[in-house]
Structure 1
Amino acid sequence: MPITAWLADLVLIVHALFILFVVAGGLLLFRWPRVAWLHLPAAVWGVAVEWMGWFCPLTPLENLLRRAAGQAGYSGGFIQHYLLPLIYPAGLTPAVQLWLGLVVLVVNVVVYALWWRRRRAARHHH
């Protein structure tokens, strides 16, 4: 397998991990509160990508590496190509993107609120 194919797979893994971090990275606050400095901008980016219909720059990079390895790239974004067929077989529509962004936003607002509440309660006990 050419090195560019390995690099494309690495970009794919990094992309998947980034999406996982965007959605659930707020949970890391309970162990490492300073992760908020990385997670908040990532979560804002994730919501903006969905709501604005943008593509993450990792998608064209993966496609470039796949083509350089003699593999077919794909059209659309990472979520549309890899995740949507699992979640929504009908495809990515503006309404689905709105809902995906809303899910990311709501999950993170709930996690941050719980973390903040727990943090304040711990301070009052000291």
Structure 2
Amino acid sequence: MMYRLIADAAMVVHFAFLVYMAVGGFVAWRWRRTLWAHLLVVAWGVLSIVTGVECPLTLAEDWARRHAGQAGLPASGFIDHYIEGVIYPEEYTNLARLGVAVLVLFSYVGYVLRRQ
């Protein structure tokens, strides 16, 4: 039971992380100090896409699911399992990534304009 809770918590935190990566720049419009945290989150997202490094949240969820007697995440990882093919078709992955990048850039431009 505890392993399942850990796995579910890791999944929820992972979704929250991805949402924050997409819209955290807008949060910084109100709370400026959060910009640094958002920059780190975006850097991690870019690093994981470019290098393919596996997210610790994915590893934690997979580990907990296996210890709970469930099937772990597929080798393709969290996004391929929960998002691609579920929220948007797999062939639109690059378009979805571009959309998030544009959203982040727009939030940063807005941040700079609001500071002036």
What interval of TM-score do these two structures reach, taking the shorter chain for normalisation?
0.7 to 0.9
Report sequence identity in percent: 37
Asked which structure has the greater CA Rg, the reply is 1
Report the CA distance between 1:39 and its aligned residue. 0.5
- TM-score between both structures, scaled by the size of structure 1: 0.81
Higher relative contact order (CA 8 A, sep 6+): 2
Q: Distance in 2 between matches of 1:31 and 1:68?
A: 41
Q: Distance in 2 between matches of 1:31 and 1:59?
A: 30
Gaps of 5+ in 2: none
For residue 107 of structure 2, what is the aligned residue in structure 1? 111
Runs of 4+ in structure 1 displaced over 6 angstroms? Answer: none
Gaps of 5+ in 1: 121-126
What is the identity, as a one-letter code, of the residue corresponding to 1:57? P
Measured at CA, do residues 36 and 25 of structure 1 come closer, stay the same or move farther in structure 2, by a change above 3 Å?
same
For residue 37 of structure 1, what is the aligned residue in structure 2? 36
Aligned length: 115
**Two-structure CA RMSD over aligned residues (Å):** 1.8
Report the CA distance between 1:9 and its aligned residue. 0.3
Q: Is contact 1:4–1:68 with CA below 8 Å preserved after alignment?
A: yes
